[in-house]
Structure 1
Amino acid sequence: MSGRGVLLIGRARTVLLVAVLAGAFVEVSTEHRRYGWLVDVFALAAVGVVGMAAVLGSEASRPRDRLAPEPRPGPAAPVFQHLPGPPPPPARPPKPRPLLQERPTDPSVPRFGNGAPAQGYPWLLPERTVQNGIAADEAAVGAFAVRAASVVGPGHRCSPPAGPRQDSYRIGRSRDSRYAIVAVADGLSSAAWSDAGATTASSQAVTLLRAQVEAGGLDGLDAVELYGRVAESVAGYAVRRGVDSSHVATVLITAVLAEPDADGVARAWVGWLGDSSAWLLDPRGGPWQCSSGDAKDRAAVVLSNDVAGRLPDTPQLARSHYLTLPPGGALALVTDGIGDAWADPAGHVNEYFANAWRLPVPATRFTADVGFDAPQCLDDRTAVVVWNGGRA
């Protein structure tokens, strides 16, 4: 009920009480012939009942919070002391996240089949300072278009302790740009400093080949002599490092391409030691065809990751031959990280690269292709491709 309603009821009860009191006073003051005293008693009782009802009604109409009795002091509540109980069990440390977590692979990288799970793992850094995990180049030498890329393989970059990129390449030219020079080296995984051995071999090979072709042309090249001098450089690095020559072991493949003749045909010399390989692409179509490189003994490779010929130990096993490159044709020097995939017809990798590299592509596209994702392809990948554009 609102405050105004309560006020009106209170006033009505007051008026009623006054009326009853006035009536009782008149009744008492009036003389009665019979039972006068009894009438007076009833009149006074009526006044008392009406007065009591007015008081109780006014108390009931008060707001509820006003009727709440004030707290009376009583005995203090007992104070309970909480005795220390057994300590809570220690919180379990957060579960460590696995070091190798798959991430979405780069959509620009070609993927074959289900790919390799390690392709999506984070790239880790080796403990020592090494060459970059990726290297790439794009160049024109006379009539030749050159693309080169080297990418550390998933097997080296994601498994702790991470290893360095053990592949290396160098490209060069003669001073007059009549010759394009290429060297690709692949350090053995079993050798602790093979990345340094590969870098030394590829760099020294281009330096020596440039001096030789400038002095005597393409016909004066000798693989055994060349690889013997490269072996001396690789062995010298091992001596300076204070390690055995087996710790810098590497394989090497080299090529020199002479400017095209009047018909646009280019003549090339290829020398090799080990399982890196050279491949030819016919401009009329078809897959890449292997032309040079030592075939692997698959059982030996699985057991020891070893090859028969290597630097600096066996330079006398180097071999060479000459080939021709028609206008629009291409010569590719690759390490086994690519060569093995191209040699497997079931993977369709060769078919893809024959179509993708039919013509020169930008270095960025070329590098993404070299980083392809395919099952069981975990090794470093390096490719240097030279396209013959005809006579400049």
Structure 2
Amino acid sequence: MSWGDSRPDGLMSGWARAALLAAVVIGAFIEVSTVHRHHGWLVDGLALAAVGLAGAAAALGSEAAATLARQPERQREWREREHDREPRTELTVPVCRYVAAPAGPAAQPARPRPFLRERPTDLSVPRFGDGARAQGYPWLLPERTVQNGIAADEATVGALTIRAASVVGPGHRCSQPAEPRQDSYRIGRSRDSRYAIVAVADGLSSAVWSDAGATTASSQAVTLLREQIEAVGFDRIDVKGLYGQIANSVAAHAAGRRVSTSQVATVLITAVIAEPDANGVAQAWVGWLGDSSAWTLDPRAALWQFSAGEAKDRAAAVVSNEVAGRLPDTPELAADGYVTLVPGAALALVTDGIGDAWADRAGNVNEYFANAWHSPVPATRFTADVGFDAPQCLDDRTAVVVWNGGGA
């Protein structure tokens, strides 16, 4: 647009008004300085009046322009205020965000996090004594793909209630490099739900592929026990034949990986719990090979009692972790027996990560678990208990508990 054109708001541009004012002032100066023959004073007065009018018009024009320029912004603010007063009817979707804690009045610069984490304060994991230092270290991943670091289940088979959990031990999950969870368990039932079937395996720490051996052993144990029960009955389970078949499966797994059988070595404990009789009493068959163990809890007792498995010599100055038998090399060393569960009693199959702590009567670990598992608890609570923190308890820990009654 040219300088003489009008703007959309009806006012001349600022520089055009300045030029016009300058022209009026110059013209007035010429008129005042020139000698007039007629009415000189009147001409001078009119010239000065023109200068005043032109200046006033320019000033008023500038203020009006500024006012008009501010109008759109004021209208926008007014519309926003009116909008805020109106009730909102649209639905909002909540978004979960991490909210940092507000900084204190004298907030310090952020420091690198220490490698040793602070232990949780919400008591989600039971802690005994000073706990284990490794419990607070970050969980690391093994170099190869392995089974999950945590596994848990809960189930009901007739009148029997089952809880199971397996947690990689602090000594395995924070080592360099990290090691896999070498414990494994399986739970199952007969087709008519008259029997609950449990298998708990503990791979030897010295065996590179012991996690694979334990997984194979526990899985095959439940499958083969179901077949034996259906073929010969609960009262005629053949522990030697059973563990011999499991050993063949574990050895075949080692051959498939092209490693020696010692590299998949594992111990195993198994159980079949029959439905309660007319008096509410349940019979359980237990077979084992190695240092995993079976424990029973009477509803009137304050401690878990050792019932089956390879007991360690607690009287010795140094408790040995050597096992007399293992799969797949010595299945002929498997042994078995029967356990009676009165109404409300419980049978626990555990690896030595828990069994050793229960056998050590110097602490109160056994007493805590007898109270905590007096009756079935949710699987989440059960898993947290299995992940307990206690001095020198660094091994993987696995527990499968079967209650005779007690509700789901």
- Using the size of structure 1 for normalisation, the TM-score is 0.73
- Cα shift at 1:101: 2.2
Indicate how the Cα distance of structure 1 residues 300 and 135 shifts in structure 2: closer, same or farther if over 3 A, else same: farther
Indicate how the Cα distance of structure 1 residues 191 and 158 shifts in structure 2: closer, same or farther if over 3 A, else same: same
Residue deviations 1:254-291, cap 9 Å, x none?
A: 00011100000001100000000000000112200001
1:296 partnered with 2:290: no
SS in 2 for 1:213: helix
SS in 2 for 1:255: strand
Q: Out of 358, 377, 380, which is 2:396 matched to?
A: 380
Residue equivalent to 1:200: 216
User: 1:342, 1:265 → 2: CA distance?
Assistant: 25
Number of residue-to-residue matches in the alignment:
297
Task: Tell me the amino acid that sits aligned with residue 326 of structure 1.
Answer: V
Residue equivalent to 1:278: 294
Indicate how the Cα distance of structure 1 residues 301 and 307 shifts in structure 2: closer, same or farther if over 3 A, else same: farther
Q: Out of 369, 373, 376, which is 2:385 matched to?
A: 369
User: 2:294, 2:372 → 1: CA distance?
Assistant: 18
1:104 partnered with 2:119: yes
| Further displaced range: 306-315 or 237-246 | 306-315
Residue equivalent to 1:114: 130
* Regions of 4+ moved over 2 Å: 95-98, 100-107, 295-306
1:185 partnered with 2:227: no
- Cα shift at 1:155: 0.2
Indicate how the Cα distance of structure 1 residues 301 and 321 shifts in structure 2: closer, same or farther if over 3 A, else same: farther
Residue equivalent to 2:36: none
- Cα shift at 1:176: 0.7
Residue deviations 1:189-236, cap 9 Å, x none?
A: 000000000000000000000111122221110111100000000000
Indicate how the Cα distance of structure 1 residues 389 and 380 shifts in structure 2: closer, same or farther if over 3 A, else same: same
Task: Tell me the amino acid that sits aligned with residue 303 of structure 2.
Answer: P
Indicate the RMSD between aligned Cα atoms, in angstroms. 2.2
Q: Out of 344, 360, 365, which is 2:376 matched to?
A: 360
1:143 partnered with 2:144: no
User: 2:321, 2:377 → 1: CA distance?
Assistant: 33
Aligned positions of 1:285-324 closer than 5 A = 285-296=301-312, 305-324=321-340
User: 1:366, 1:147 → 2: CA distance?
Assistant: 7
Task: Tell me the amino acid that sits aligned with residue 336 of structure 1.
Answer: D
Residue equivalent to 2:273: 257
1:345 partnered with 2:371: no
User: 1:175, 1:132 → 2: CA distance?
Assistant: 28
- Cα shift at 1:103: 3.1
1:230 partnered with 2:246: yes
Residue deviations 1:279-324, cap 9 Å, x none?
A: 0000112200001111236799979853111000100000000121
Contact map agreement 2:267 2:289 (CA 8 A) in 1 = yes
Contact map agreement 2:313 2:319 (CA 8 A) in 1 = no
Task: Tell me the amino acid that sits aligned with residue 168 of structure 2.
Answer: V
- Cα shift at 1:102: 2.7
**Which structure 1 residue ranges, 5 or more long, are not aligned?**
1-94
Indicate how the Cα distance of structure 1 residues 391 and 167 shifts in structure 2: closer, same or farther if over 3 A, else same: closer
Contact map agreement 1:156 1:380 (CA 8 A) in 2 = yes
Residue deviations 1:232-260, cap 9 Å, x none?
A: 00000000000000000000000001110
SS in 1 for 2:362: helix
Residue equivalent to 1:247: 263
User: 1:107, 1:96 → 2: CA distance?
Assistant: 26
Q: Out of 338, 346, 352, which is 1:336 matched to?
A: 352
Task: Tell me the amino acid that sits aligned with residue 297 of structure 2.
Answer: L
1:211 partnered with 2:227: yes
Aligned positions of 1:11-26 closer than 5 A = none
Indicate how the Cα distance of structure 1 residues 313 and 171 shifts in structure 2: closer, same or farther if over 3 A, else same: same
**Which structure 2 residue ranges, 5 or more long, are not aligned?**
1-110
Task: Tell me the amino acid that sits aligned with residue 272 of structure 2.
Answer: V
Residue equivalent to 2:142: 126
User: 2:190, 2:124 → 1: CA distance?
Assistant: 35
1:221 partnered with 2:237: yes
- Cα shift at 1:390: 7.7
Contact map agreement 1:254 1:272 (CA 8 A) in 2 = yes
User: 2:287, 2:379 → 1: CA distance?
Assistant: 25
| Further displaced range: 102-111 or 353-362 | 102-111
| Further displaced range: 291-300 or 106-115 | 291-300
Task: Tell me the amino acid that sits aligned with residue 116 of structure 2.
Answer: Q
Q: Out of 167, 171, 176, which is 1:160 matched to?
A: 176
User: 1:370, 1:389 → 2: CA distance?
Assistant: 22
